[in-house]
Structure 1
Amino acid sequence: MEALPENREKVWVWPNLVFTELMCMIGTTIFLVVWAIIFKAPLEEPANTTWAPNPAKAPWYFLGLQEMLVYFDPWMAGVVLPGLILVGLIAIPYIDTNPKGNGYFTIKERPIAMWGFLYGWIVLWMYLIIVGTFLRGPNWTFYGPFEFWDFHKVVSEYNVNLSEFVWLKWLNTPMPSNIVVREIVGIILTLVYCCVLPVAIAKSKYGKKIIENTGQIRYYIFIILVLGMTSLPIKMVLRWLFSLKYIIALPEWELNL
């Protein structure tokens, strides 16, 4: 049976797969036991309604959402972005219908599925949880890995909107009273990012290859999900480098991006 041409490149589940999974399970268990021994997690005092801890943190599995609130409004950080992440992860097998990789592990033959999942899970979820758990201290201030959490640490930070950058700093003129004119630069950039960029990517060599493999409808669904999920790290970098708060700030309509 093993000599048949269709079976020459196949291996048995045991011991080739199950043994590897068993070793990974044992290694993970040892790691968790050592972690639990070294890093103690004592119970705190009973809850007191007159005192709130600083920082007040959500359960670890919600810390990613709490970290998103640093960069986006609640409707964006709590509804839109998590929804895009979940929908994007669910949509991966429907967008990338490549039949290769069924029954065996491969990265080269399923790059969209593999890197899409790793990006959504590790970068957009696990990274934010790690930052919120280990690097956010009192007053939700960012602390380095080995920095002492000083409750009296003062961080001089003033975040400004893109419209303030444009009108007050760059053009040195008062802010326009018309909200559309005031936010026109942010609106144009957002429209270019959401509407023009997918078309431009579709005309590139990489985009044509994706369309050839998936079709136009699945391509645009895929690229919109990717751009939506990529907006988070873009906003994070803009905040770190330029103290940018919102690209579009419309508090009159409770709409900030």
Structure 2
Amino acid sequence: MKEFINYMADPIRSFPIMTILYILMMKYYRIIGTKKFAIGAVVASLPVVAWFCMDANFRAIILWPDNIPINIIIILIAWLTWYSLYRCAQNDARIEKGECPIEATPENREKVWTWPNLVYTELMCMIGATVFLVVWAIIFKAPLEEPANPTWAPNPAKAPWYFLGLQEMLVYFDPWMAGVVLPGIIVVGLMAIPYIDTNPKGNGYFTIKERPLAMWMFMYGWLVLWIYLIIVGTFLRGPNWTFYGPFEYWDFHKVVSEYNVNLSEFLWIKWLNMPMPGNIVLREILGIILTVAYIVVIPLWSAKTKWGKKIIENTGQIRYYIFIFLLLGMTSLPIKMVLRWLFSLKYIIALPEWELNL
């Protein structure tokens, strides 16, 4: 069983599973967003987590001082995600009956004074957070290491937890793409969703039915393309940034043979059985054509579909093309990940002469 879990935890299999689970979660949110489901999930997960913790390798990973706050964050994200689905299910059911959302009921619209209501609550939260941090500091040792030594680098060398998603992207993209362009597109895209999707409904209350586009995109970018990558980088990447299963010992001598090939090498050497052309544009012509088609042709084609026409009708052409550009930028990450896993594809366009690799 442990070997099977290690096998399924590999990103080539766990990422599609995560995507499928996300689709099921959003599609059946009215079932998942119930107290019965939450209680059943907690009861079912407790013995599974206890069984996981019986393994020494798994315990060593989750109890690593750097990883303890990430464990807490994951639990909080799971709770808050369920709670948002719970509130969405309640409001959508009320709206279908012709009632107002819970947030719009008279008792919830009642205003209170900042003092003492808000300030008192904030004071209690500050005291509770301080007590928690003091107890945490007493129980767990601070993950401090020796002073930096230029002759020795830790293995694995990991960024802070909030940058581990970016570090995982470096496996699939060039540094300028993984460290600047994609994070910018993801962050800006998530912030731009409320301004692109100008649907006035859903402002100030929980709902999925009245804001499906915004909710589906935001939650996928947040849970699958960010939180999942942080979990992989934290718990499943060991020495040499090699993948290790949750029950696998982090052996520094583990060797994984990987040979990544550029798309141009596939075209000229493997498919056409010809030497690589000296002209760099001709050499990368297939990747250039595919990239232009992805960036230019797909938006123009989708604008003529029923789905695209509906979005243009609701938002306008400018907002539509901004939206589709951000969407294509976001989906380029899972596309490149899948291409790497299935075909060992390194770059679609490899132009080291221009320091441009996609």
Normalized against structure 2, the TM-score is what? Answer: 0.62
Question: Against the structure 1 CA distance between its residues 182 and 108, is the aligned structure 2 distance closer, same or farther, given a 3 Å change threshold?
Answer: same
Question: Against the structure 1 CA distance between its residues 118 and 41, is the aligned structure 2 distance closer, same or farther, given a 3 Å change threshold?
Answer: farther
- Provide Cα deviations, 1:159-208, integer angstroms capped at 9, x if missing partner: 01000011111111111111111100000000000000011111111111
Matches of 1:180 and 1:103, distance apart in 2: 51
Which residue matches 1:225?
A: 326
Q: Does 1:253 align with 2:354?
A: yes
What percentage of residue pairs aligned between the two structures are identical?
A: 78
Which residue matches 1:234?
A: 335
Matches of 1:231 and 1:43, distance apart in 2: 36
Instruction: Give the RMSD, CA atoms, in angstroms.
Output: 2.5
1:13 shift after superposition = 2.4
Structure 1 runs of 4+ off > 4 angstroms?
39-42
Which residue matches 2:108?
A: 13
Which residue matches 2:239?
A: 138
Which residue matches 1:213?
A: 314
1:123 shift after superposition = 2.0
Which of 287, 292, 295 lines up with 1:194 in the alignment? 295
Which residue matches 2:203?
A: 102
Which residue matches 1:93?
A: 194
Matches of 1:104 and 1:59, distance apart in 2: 34
Question: Against the structure 1 CA distance between its residues 206 and 40, is the aligned structure 2 distance closer, same or farther, given a 3 Å change threshold?
Answer: farther
Matches of 2:171 and 2:141, distance apart in 1: 27
Which residue matches 1:82?
A: 183
Q: Does 1:66 align with 2:167?
A: yes
1:44 shift after superposition = 4.9
Matches of 1:119 and 1:88, distance apart in 2: 12
Matches of 2:314 and 2:354, distance apart in 1: 41
Higher helix share: 2
Matches of 1:210 and 1:98, distance apart in 2: 11
Gapped regions of structure 2 (runs ≥ 5): 1-97, 110-124
Which residue matches 2:49?
A: none
Which residue matches 1:150?
A: 251
Which of 266, 276, 283 lines up with 1:175 in the alignment? 276
SS at match of 1:252: helix
Matches of 1:41 and 1:220, distance apart in 2: 51
Which of 47, 51, 55 lines up with 2:147 in the alignment? 47
Q: Does 1:115 align with 2:216?
A: yes
1:8 shift after superposition = 5.8
1:237 shift after superposition = 0.5
Matches of 1:72 and 1:81, distance apart in 2: 9
1:51 shift after superposition = 2.1
Matches of 1:160 and 1:197, distance apart in 2: 26
Judge which range, 160-169 or 45-54, deviates more: 45-54
Which residue matches 1:4?
A: none
1:97 shift after superposition = 0.9
Matches of 1:183 and 1:165, distance apart in 2: 11
- Provide Cα deviations, 1:202-222, integer angstroms capped at 9, x if missing partner: 111111111111111100000
